[in-house]
Amino acid sequence: MKRAVVTGASGFIGKALTNRLLADGWTVYAVVRDEQRLAGIRGELRPVVCDFAHYDRLAERIGERVEWFLHFGWAGVAGEQSRDIVVQAENIRAAAEAMTQAEQLEAKRFLFAGSSYQYRMEPQDGAFLQKNLYGAAKAAARRLLWAASFGTAMRFNTVLFTNVYGVGDRSGRSTNTMLKKMLAGEPLNLISGEHLHDWTYIDDAVDGVMAVLENGRAGKDYYVGARELSTFRDIVTCARDAVSPGTELRFGEYEDKAYIDYGQIDLDALYRDTGFQCRADLAESVQKTARWLLHENEMSGVTDGGGAPSSYVVACVIPALAMGRGASL
């Protein structure tokens, strides 16, 4: 029986990976703070309720060798906590403890979930600096784990994502917010959107992670996303055309000079080393996500006072989704 540990297993990507491993016949030790968030998962699941402060007990609680250790647990990925130095420093400590526990469990693979925010450039006194605190913490943890991995028998890799979306995401991340506004026919006030950006469908994200675990080269960082990027403006326009063609997109309403410096990221490394590349069509996967949001939220925010679909949804959104209408990049 193959065994894996997944920290942050109740998060969007962590849960999708857990489901994939279970479907492939693995036993998964799912490390979470709230076991209820694992409800509905089927297979050889072993919940391990544990917060960062008690990560030093993971090996003892699991009590048997594992093949893979996937560290996706991270606090403060958005909002005020993403700018809290104490919260981010605790994330680094927890990542270091996770690697220590993985070594005690004799794991053969240790995978760390990084972020493209490690390469986010933000304006400061007329220059652009990598000063994003969340990104800095991810980069510091990655560097620490990479250096420590040389003293272990584990193969270490980092995976990077920009913006993973899709069926199963119940968060308030920007992708969901925009899609819900489109479904409601509400205009979107946006940045100008000229910088390069990426949306990665959850199925591609999971397949990419599996490709790294199975065939990645030791010590390398792998970006899981498009090999050829589009602008934020083009991506959101494509999503709008696929979901709700009548929605007004107000680009330039907000000023945001920050951007991800993709020139520092090897977008082709995963393809070169494993042959993997993303396959999801943006328009089709956005439509699939929108249909799921309509069902999951029971038309929340796009209904009339009695709970029935609004006239805009009936007239514009549902027909477009049913017909699979939309543009692709």
Q: What is the mean pLDDT of residues 267-271?
A: 98
User: What pLDDT shows up at residue 324?
Assistant: 56
Q: Per-residue confidence at 313, pLDDT binned at 50, 70, 90?
A: low
Domains and CATH numbers, the chain: 3-174+196-230+257-279 (3.40.50.720)
E strand segments, 176-306: 188-191, 196-197, 200-201, 221-223, 230-231, 249-254, 259-260
Percent of the chain with pLDDT over 90: 87
The 10s digit of each residue's pLDDT in 202-225 is: 999 999 999 999 999 999 999 999
User: What pLDDT shows up at residue 296?
Assistant: 82
The 10s digit of each residue's pLDDT in 128-182 is: 999 999 999 999 999 999 999 999 999 999 999 999 999 999 888 999 999 999 9
Q: Per-residue confidence at 304, pLDDT binned at 50, 70, 90?
A: very low
Query: If residue 178 lies in a helix (H) or strand (E), which one and from where to where?
Result: helix 174-184
Q: What is the mean pLDDT of residues 98-110?
A: 98
| Contact by Cβ (8 Å): 44, 27 | yes
- Give the β-pairing of 120-124 and 127-129: antiparallel
pLDDT higher for 321 or 37? 37
